[in-house]
Amino acid sequence: MSANTIKVLVVDDSALVRQTLTEILDSDPTIEVVGAAADPYAAAKKLETTVPDVITLDIEMPRMDGLTFLKKLMTQHPIPVVICSTLTESGSETTLRALEFGAVDIILKPKIGTKQFLEEARIRVCDAVKAAARARVKKITTTQLKVQPKLSADAVLPGPKGKAMFQTTEKVVVVGASTGGTEALRVFLEALPQDCPGIAIVQHMPEHFTAAFAKRLNGICRITVKEAVDNDTVLRGQALIAPGNKHMLLKRSGARYYTEIKDGPLVRRHRPSVDVLFRSAARYAGKNAVGVIMTGMGDDGATGMKELKDVGAYTIAQDEATSVVFGMPQEAIKLGGVDRVLPLEAIAHEVVRSCS
């Protein structure tokens, strides 16, 4: 193994999962599994002698749960952590809390399936680890671990603003994000006013987790946030998040923008794909679209961003200083698809300004 090899510690109470993850990760020549642990106590013992570049971590384990271990790790000696979770709606809320506590990404535990399923699992697991290895993680304080209370329904359920939303000149905002995007989207959406333009978002995240993620955002934002379903109307004061493992397209019928949710192959190694959303927005919204690309590994969204700019849409990229991983914004900038490069905290204001 070379000096540039990404060293990974696998932490999971299932011997089969540890074995499967080890085989998947070791199949990539740029990744080396340097240890496996059945629980956080065993993991802590291994960390005394070996410091990995990335840790894959289960949540539900004996002796100490993964969330408690993550808190201790991120307040004392931060290491990029990828949560490896089962596909359950009931556990998704706890897993999303792990992202708030400093985890970089979520992946699904690999399981037996078709050849295509296993290949997609391999791609997603290895890509998540590679992205985590490049992520900039910070030590967090105990005050940062407090979950903010939800606001009242009055603050999160603004009504339609009349016929204006159906004018043909109505602006629509499309957003793409990946590694680090859950926190970036929270900052962006919390800063938006109740009457902001309709928003469609692709965040690389497994199915079921997007619904819990949207619900959590809906509880802290002034606008309404929900997981998109097929044929959802894009409304002012509302953000629609693409469901995990499904592509989302922006379509138009007369003066109405709506979403199309569909299956399909991985695009740019992802489903949902930012490129799919951006291309559809370029086709159906054109110069009435505003494109935003945020933190993330890889190049998903770069081509679509250029297509948006080419049809007259206004395009914004998150800057390097505030990105956990600068891959996606950087690739969009390289292609010449970006009008403005801004720090995360300035993006919401610029979106509103450009749509006024």
To the query of whether residue 300 is one of the catalytic residues in this protein, the response is: yes
Q: Which is the catalytic residue, given 178, 273, 280, 323?
A: 178
Q: Which is the catalytic residue, given 270, 300, 319, 323?
A: 300
Burial call 45-61: b when 16+ CB within 10 Å, e when fewer: ebbeeeebbbbbbbbeb
Q: Which is the catalytic residue, given 12, 204, 232, 270?
A: 204
332: Cα within 13 Å, side-chain hemisphere = 38
Alpha helices in the chain (DSSP H): 15-26, 40-47, 66-76, 89-100, 115-134, 153-156, 181-190, 209-218, 274-284, 302-310, 327-334, 344-355
Smallest CA-to-CA distance from 176 within 39, 53, 268, 284 is with 268
To the query of whether residue 204 is one of the catalytic residues in this protein, the response is: yes
Angle CA(309)–CA(312)–CA(317) in degrees, nearest 5? 35
Asked whether the beta carbons of 205 and 244 are under 8 A apart, the reply is yes
Residue with tokens 């928003």, as numbered in its chain: 199
Determine how β-strand 289-293 pairs with β-strand 31-37: unpaired
Residue 270 DSSP class? B
The C-alpha atoms of residue 27 and residue 30 are separated, in whole angstroms, by 9
Q: Which residues are catalytic?
A: 178, 204, 300
